Structure 1
Amino acid sequence: MPIYFFWGDDDFALNRAVSALRDRTLDPDWATFNYDRIPPEQSDGITQALNQVMTAPFGTGGRLVWLVETTLAQRCSEELLSELDRTLSAIPDTNVLLLTSSSKPDGRIKSTKLLQKHAEIREFALIPPWKTDQIGEQVRRSAQEMGVKLTRDAVQLLANSVGNQSRQLYLELEKLSLYGASNSQPLDEAIVASLVSNYTQNSLQLASAIQQGNTGKALTLVADLFKQNEPPLRIVSTLVGQFRTWLWVKLMVESGERDDREIARMAEVSNPKRIYFLKQEVRSLPLASLRQTLPLLLELEFSLKSQGGDPMPLLQTKVIELCQLFVRSAQA
């Protein structure tokens, strides 16, 4: 298929896919003549891309036209839609039109429906940090693709260390690949622990510190996250996801539900086997305290989005408030 639409916020994975597509489309000797990267600030970029992709390639290999950060799947004039409709069905087999965007395509508009008809659409979204089973699966799949043999415990440790950061995962797997090149046995947890740095999971550790009412540890983790340049809104997003999961599990358990699959469905946990561990985590947590966490986190999210200045004091204040919910419940 000569038309591709890549979208999502995982820039590293998306750009790797772009590089792979470029490598298999272009002849290196003729790439200068057959490769067009059209930036979003170019006012006539879409029209130029559609014209260029209809041009026969020079020499050998194909032609690749890349429309970067396009808005075609968010808005499109009728005039441009007609031009798009004429072009997409007539692109030569030797040529490739690539469209990329960080935003999700709007399935309601005509241009998106047209792209869905003619293009291969691939999503490159970062896995939410609290979906640890999906992160583990991503690590296992990536290791397999790169030929790195890992034990089950090693996969889990690597997932805990890199979280949803695909760039770090790739770099660590490259390192492990070099180490294991002369070893036919799968690399175990001890080897991974000695070679891999712990980049993430601190947001989940922050959630655990809050539900323990451990204010000192929670504030230390907030400081660590800022030192690692973790975006404040991403920290809040992780906390919202984790506390939402805990709240749903607690609600279902207290309502008398015993079917782990049903609890997993309601809590949006893809692996029902995780429910056993989540039940242990929420066993001593008061439902009333869990209920109060989400409004506080939504207040924090609103404040971070609407106020300028240093986000650190906002996050610290709300983390103290959240910890107090569970300190009070423990003392009651």
Structure 2
Amino acid sequence: MDAKRALKDIAAGRPAPVYLCYGPEKYKMREFIQVLTDALMEPEDREFALSKFDLSEIPLTSVLDDAETLPFMVPKKLVIAKNALFFTGAKENAKLDHNLDRLTAYLKSPAEHTVVVFTVDADKLDERKKIVKALKDMEAAVPFLSLSPEELTQWVAKRASQLGFTFTGGAADQLILYTGGNLQSLSAELEKISLFVGAGGEATPAVIDQLVARSTEQNVFILIEDIVNVRLDRAFVILEELLKQREEPIKIASLIARQFRIMLQVKELGKQGYSGQQMASQIGLHPFAVKVAEGQARKYDIDKLSRIMGELADLDLQMKTGKIDKVLGLELFLLRLAA
């Protein structure tokens, strides 16, 4: 079952007795659970109608015991159990014995007065397991996948509209780039921008530059984007900012190498006919980051990218052995790259 259909059923007053939530998009997963919570109970009832368990510390039997217990003063209760690693191939806490046979029995006749939500911090489930097949058969497994670049752009525009402002001149894409497409970060930054520009205001690229905080990784990502598009002045401003923040030049060089490695992987996977979503899954990146890397990689052929990786390896060795001043070595590399 997909999340949209599940939400539609919840809005119609037909929540499923069990949900298994998984996937990389944790923000959407939390939103889903919040909608479910709001639909099942009033805020004042949550103290005794909402239970939360951590299955990395508590056995599954405790969750099921609670699920089978009648609710107090409310028609339905909600039981949320996180870290349900037994649905995946991940290694579990050896000290805990999760009784999956009992869960299988519960699924055949779930308590009418309880909704159970299992969450797992994994992109995929282990579909070889009988318990996973059982949940999929009853359409209880709900994936929360990363939004595609197009969906992400639409999500940002919609959220901005709800907050009462609009974007101009590529500012929305700039915001997504600065946050790495992380919905939690995007949501927080959108709230900040709405307060700054006010109702009916416009968020420009200058506003995004002024307001949105960027991690070292994101700064390096943008630095590469500027170098690829021959915006040397901007690239060296970012480098100077990173150095002022006392970022180690070797770390910066390592992050640059990581980005070029991604570009090389994207280039090679593209030749094999992989789609953007397939590349993202293969490399373990957000689809928006893959889209940007695809655009950057178009400026180079595979041989050139391989040579750049070799130059970065040489630079790393020279930096670590003291054969070149770290900052000078980094600056000379960026100048050669732009040339």
TM-score (norm: length of structure 2): 0.63
Change (3 A) 1:208 1:39: same
Q: Which residue of 1 aligns with 2:6?
A: none
Change (3 A) 1:220 1:264: farther
8 Å CA contact 1:2, 1:97 repeated in 2: yes
Residue 150 of structure 1 pairs with residue 166 of structure 2: yes
Residue 49 of structure 1 pairs with residue 63 of structure 2: yes
Q: Which residue of 1 aligns with 2:265?
A: 244
Per the TM alignment, residue 63 of structure 1 is displaced from its structure 2 partner at its CA by: 0.8
Q: Which residue of 2 aligns with 1:15?
A: 30
8 Å CA contact 2:175, 2:212 repeated in 1: no
**AA in 1 matched with 2:52:** R
Q: How does 1:97-176 map to 2 (within 5 A)?
A: 97-103=116-122, 104-118=124-138, 119-123=140-144, 125=146, 133=150, 135-144=152-161, 146-151=162-167, 153-176=170-193
Change (3 A) 1:157 1:84: same
Per-residue CA distance 1:167-187 (angstroms, 9 max, x = gap) = 22112222344456643xx63
Q: How does 1:59-78 map to 2 (within 5 A)?
A: 59-74=73-88
Q: How does 1:123-272 map to 2 (within 5 A)?
A: 123=144, 125=146, 133=150, 135-144=152-161, 146-151=162-167, 153-178=170-195, 182-183=199-200, 187-189=202-204, 192-193=207-208, 196-199=211-214, 201-208=218-225, 239-246=260-267
Q: Which residue of 2 aligns with 1:258?
A: none
Change (3 A) 1:248 1:194: closer
Change (3 A) 1:136 1:150: same
- RMSD over aligned Cα atoms: 5.1
- What runs of 5+ residues in structure 2 fail to find an aligned partner? 1-15, 281-286, 314-318
Per-residue CA distance 1:124-161 (angstroms, 9 max, x = gap) = 55x6xxx75554344234435x4544246342233233
Per the TM alignment, residue 79 of structure 1 is displaced from its structure 2 partner at its CA by: 8.3
Q: Which residue of 2 aligns with 1:327?
A: 336
Change (3 A) 1:267 1:8: closer
8 Å CA contact 2:56, 2:83 repeated in 1: no
CA distance in 2, matches of 1:195, 1:328: 28
Per the TM alignment, residue 37 of structure 1 is displaced from its structure 2 partner at its CA by: 1.0
The secondary structure found in structure 1 opposite 2:85 is coil
Deviates more, 1:197-206 or 1:92-101: 197-206
The secondary structure found in structure 2 opposite 1:38 is strand
Per-residue CA distance 1:234-260 (angstroms, 9 max, x = gap) = 9876554334335667x69xxxxxxxx
Per the TM alignment, residue 196 of structure 1 is displaced from its structure 2 partner at its CA by: 3.1
8 Å CA contact 2:166, 2:203 repeated in 1: yes
8 Å CA contact 1:163, 1:199 repeated in 2: no
Change (3 A) 1:195 1:287: closer
Per-residue CA distance 1:53-105 (angstroms, 9 max, x = gap) = 12221112521111111112126999833211211232234421111111231
Change (3 A) 1:115 1:231: farther
Per the TM alignment, residue 195 of structure 1 is displaced from its structure 2 partner at its CA by: 6.4
Of all paired residues, the percent bearing the same amino acid is 17
Change (3 A) 1:234 1:97: farther
Change (3 A) 1:286 1:116: closer
CA distance in 2, matches of 1:294, 1:242: 11
